[in-house]
Amino acid sequence: MSLTAPDRWKAAWNADLAVLESLRANGDVPHVVREIDVSFRGPLESLRRLQASCSNFGFEVQSFTEADDEGEPWLFLVRDQTTDEDALRDLTMTYLQIEDSFGVECDGWGCVGQTKE
């Protein structure tokens, strides 16, 4: 599926907006920089390639599991950023680009809400 497919973008962005709404409902201050983690699933070799080049997308490796409880590989990446809409729009575009470039699937993102400036 293409990065530019409107339905794909809309589905990803709507899911991300739901996370943002939850953060805001719990008092998150969007302009505070914090650690955002993004997880990816896919073929082991694809995840290894992503692990090796994640810094090109502004990430560091948080953890890499070659076989989770179900025997599937799982890569967690992390970067520091805000949760304002522009920053999250960039995050969404970035993980969609990673999916296309590496043949992996984003399994979601998360962060600890920041309630103090």
SS3 content of the chain, % helix, strand, coil (to 5): 45, 25, 30
Look at residue 44 in the predicted model and tell me its pLDDT: 96
Q: The CATH number of the domain where 92 resides is what? A: 3.30.70.970
- How many CB atoms are closer than 10 A to CB 79? 17
Look at residue 4 in the predicted model and tell me its pLDDT: 57
DSSP 20: H
Model confidence over 9-49: pLDDT tens digits?
Answer: 999 999 999 999 999 999 999 999 999 999 999 999 999 99
Q: CA-CA distance, 105 to 80, in Å (whole number)? A: 21
The number of domains in the chain is 1
Residue keyed to tokens 């890569």 = 75
Residue 24 lies in a domain: yes
Q: Which range marks the domain in which residue 14 is found?
A: 6-111
Look at residue 2 in the predicted model and tell me its pLDDT: 55
